[in-house]
Amino acid sequence: MRYLPLTQADRASMLETIGAGSVDDLYCDVPEGALLKEPVDLPHHLGEMQVERDMAKLAAKNMGTASAPSFLGAGAYRHHVPATVDYIIQRGEFLTAYTPYQPEIAQGTLQYLFEFQTQVASITNMDVANASMWDGATSCAEAVLMACRATRRKKAVLSGGLHPHYREVTETYCQYSDTQVAGRDGHPEHQATADELDDLIDDQTACVVVQYPDVFGRLDDHTKLAEACHAKGALLVVVFTEAVAFGAIKSPGSFGADIVCGEGQSIGNALGYGGPYVGLFATTSKLVRQMPGRLCGETVDQDGKRGFVLTLSTREQHIRREKATSNICTNSGLCSLAFTVHMSLLGEDGYRKLAAINHERAVKTADALEGVAGVEVVNDSFFNEFTVKLSKPAAEVVEALVARGIMGGVPLSRLYPNRDDLGAFMLVAATETNTDEDIAALAAALKEVLA
């Protein structure tokens, strides 16, 4: 087996040094009958060529977004990832390193985490950010738990514009910690405003969670909501699923948000059928010690040179055990590196321009679809994703578009399987990867399907 270097001669001589007769002898503590004498019922080892062939066969059964015009969003977005990103993250010193517990030989990881934290804090316009979470949905759940700790309250109000997966994960995390989750169902034709959530906020409310842009693609100024929260001693959590947006829209920090968290996949990370992704998590200096997850901080070494270490670990499970702020152990290291490299390539100008192009592509797509009979663009405002109302059930339309070689959007029935009132709606996202031809093809195919 190509990964296993020991020879039979090695094994024999090592057993002799140990003073054991066989490898089985080393398993002497395994209870009677539980030690298998033969390999389990699975195929035996394969060479690299055969494995690659097997895996390629599975891949070939799928229709990838690179092979068809694709307008899918709903929390995961197809963006161009520069070749440099994948080259850097495959360098063995990054790929095969561990969590930087020995900072003298992990300054590479630690410095990029410090840069990552700075980038995330900058685009959200918050004071500080952590070294990443598992994904956007778990970041949202952890934000609610953090708000409960910080306010010593046990109620969270979730906006109807929050992605259903984020809501479900938050509810799952809260259900066994006596935390009440309140909120209203969302609808693409009824915008959740500060006024609508206002009456749910009381002096037991730890936080209000809104998504910006929301799951239907709409934009709303949450300054008043932040004020309403703060008036009741609650925190405002602003969640996002599209990290490119802040190159074009007002930052959540400018609303007065206390926690800003969401999905960082859009920058540097492949779609990869939903994971691994990278959760971004930012907050104010005041709340930093309540933050979950790993944090990297600046310090000096014994020669006085600047260096970086993991810090504030007294919040964490390996020190605090059952009193920790979270059970989180790892972060999304390599995905945060991909984010950092891509963001470094973009820079101020590139990031803003990328956002501008995304908006332009989405406006062009919306304009094209508005000209198709049976399609109504619902949104008044959007960044790179919007909701359309169709004259036929959206799930069937999506299948009919696939038959024409186009992935046209995400039917809301996929995200809300129990909501009969949303069957006609479809989410459409456009990014810099969508060409004029893609947009024309989508409009033409929709015209056929809805005729």
Partner 1 sequence: MTFQTHTGNRGLVLEEKLIFEQGEAGRSGVDLPDPAPVKSRLGGLARDENSEIGLPGLSEPQVVRHFTRLSQKNFGIDSGFFPLGSCTMKHNPRLNEKVARLPGIADLHPMQPESTVQGALELMDQCAHWLLVLTGMPAVAMSPASGAQGELCGMMAIRAALDARGENRRRVLVPESAHGTNPATAAACGFTVDSIPATADGRVDLAAFEAKLGDDVAGIMLTNPNTCGLFERDVRKIADLVHAAGGYFYCDGANFNAIVGRVRPADLGVDAMHINLHKTFSTPHGGGGPGSGPVVFSEALAPFAPIPYVVKTENGFHLVETADEQDGKKPFGRLKGFHGQMGMFVRALSYMKSHGADGLRQASGDAVLNANYLLARLKTKLSVAYPGYCMHEALFDDDFLKGTGVSTLDLAKAIIDEGFHPMTMYFPLVVHGALLIEPTETETKESIDQFCDAVLSLVAKAEAGDSEFFKNAPYLTPRRRLDETAAARKPVLRWSPANA
Q: Which of residues 187-226 bind partner 1 (CB under 8 A)?
A: 218-221
Question: Out of 8, 62, 152, 420, which residue is the one contacting partner 1 (CB under 8 A)?
Answer: 62
Of 182 and 249, the one with the shorter C-beta distance to partner 1 is: 249
Closest approach of partner 1 to the CB of residue 229, in Å:
19
Closest approach of partner 1 to the CB of residue 86, in Å:
7
Residue type for 292, please?
P
Q: What is the DSSP letter of 114?
A: H
Question: Out of 185, 227, 298, 370, which residue is the one contacting partner 1 (CB under 8 A)?
Answer: 298
Q: Which of positions 12-31 make contact with partner 1 (CB under 8 A)?
A: 13-15, 17-20, 23, 25-31
Question: Is residue 156 close enough to count as binding partner 1 by CB under 8 A?
Answer: no
Q: Which of positions 79-98 make contact with partner 1 (CB under 8 A)?
A: 82, 84, 86-98
Contact 77, 244 (CB under 8 A): yes
Coil/strand/helix, residue 266? coil
Question: Out of 189, 190, 195, 299, which residue is the one contacting partner 1 (CB under 8 A)?
Answer: 299
Q: Which of positions 317-376 make contact with partner 1 (CB under 8 A)?
A: 317-324, 326-335, 337, 341, 343-354, 356-357, 359-360, 362-364, 366
**Binding map of partner 1 across residues 406-445, x = CB under 8 A, - = no contact:** -x--x---xx-xx-------------x-------------
Closest approach of partner 1 to the CB of residue 425, in Å:
14
Of 104 and 203, the one with the shorter C-beta distance to partner 1 is: 104
397-403: list long-range contacts, CB under 8 Å, 24+ apart: 397/426, 397/446, 397/449, 397/450, 398/426, 400/449, 401/442, 401/445, 401/446, 401/449, 402/63
Closest approach of partner 1 to the CB of residue 93, in Å:
4
C-alpha to C-alpha distances, 406 to 76, 377, 437, nearest whole angstrom: 17, 19, 12
Closest approach of partner 1 to the CB of residue 24, in Å:
8
Of 204 and 317, the one with the shorter C-beta distance to partner 1 is: 317
Closest approach of partner 1 to the CB of residue 334, in Å:
3
Coil/strand/helix, residue 376? strand
Between CA 181 and CA 241 the distance in angstroms is 21
Question: Is residue 303 close enough to count as binding partner 1 by CB under 8 A?
Answer: yes
Of 111 and 233, the one with the shorter C-beta distance to partner 1 is: 111
| The two structure tokens encoding residue 258 | 């206390």
User: H or E stretch including 262?
Assistant: strand 259-263
Question: Out of 8, 104, 373, 420, which residue is the one contacting partner 1 (CB under 8 A)?
Answer: 104
Of 233 and 276, the one with the shorter C-beta distance to partner 1 is: 276
Question: Is residue 149 close enough to count as binding partner 1 by CB under 8 A?
Answer: no
Considering only the stretches 70-78, 154-162, 203-211, 231-239, report the one whose residues sit in contact with partner 1 under the rule CB under 8 A. Answer: 70-78
Question: Is residue 178 close enough to count as binding partner 1 by CB under 8 A?
Answer: yes
Closest approach of partner 1 to the CB of residue 22, in Å:
9
Question: Is residue 261 close enough to count as binding partner 1 by CB under 8 A?
Answer: no
Of 242 and 263, the one with the shorter C-beta distance to partner 1 is: 263
Question: Out of 137, 147, 369, 394, which residue is the one contacting partner 1 (CB under 8 A)?
Answer: 137
Size of the site for partner 1 (CB under 8 A): 212
Of 200 and 312, the one with the shorter C-beta distance to partner 1 is: 312
Of 88 and 207, the one with the shorter C-beta distance to partner 1 is: 88
Of 319 and 440, the one with the shorter C-beta distance to partner 1 is: 319
Between CA 377 and CA 396 the distance in angstroms is 18
C-alpha to C-alpha distances, 270 to 71, 79, 173, 338, 382, nearest whole angstrom: 15, 8, 27, 10, 23
Closest approach of partner 1 to the CB of residue 158, in Å:
14
Residue type for 448, please?
E
User: H or E stretch including 336?
Assistant: helix 333-370
Is the Cα torsion angle 394, 399, 403, 409 positive or negative in sign? positive
Between CA 334 and CA 20 the distance in angstroms is 41
Contact 387, 216 (CB under 8 A): yes
Contact 358, 244 (CB under 8 A): yes
Q: Which of positions 373-392 make contact with partner 1 (CB under 8 A)?
A: 379-383
Considering only the stretches 196-204, 225-233, 243-251, 441-449, report the one whose residues sit in contact with partner 1 under the rule CB under 8 A. Answer: 243-251
Between CA 319 and CA 354 the distance in angstroms is 42
Is the Cα torsion angle 346, 352, 357, 358 positive or negative in sign? positive
Query: Kind of pairing, strands 385-390 and 410-411?
Result: unpaired
At a CB cut-off of 8 Å and minimum separation 6, what does 431 contact? 77, 78, 79, 244, 358, 361, 384
Count Cα atoms within 13 angstroms, Cβ side, for 364. Answer: 19
Is the Cα torsion angle 147, 151, 154, 160 positive or negative in sign? negative
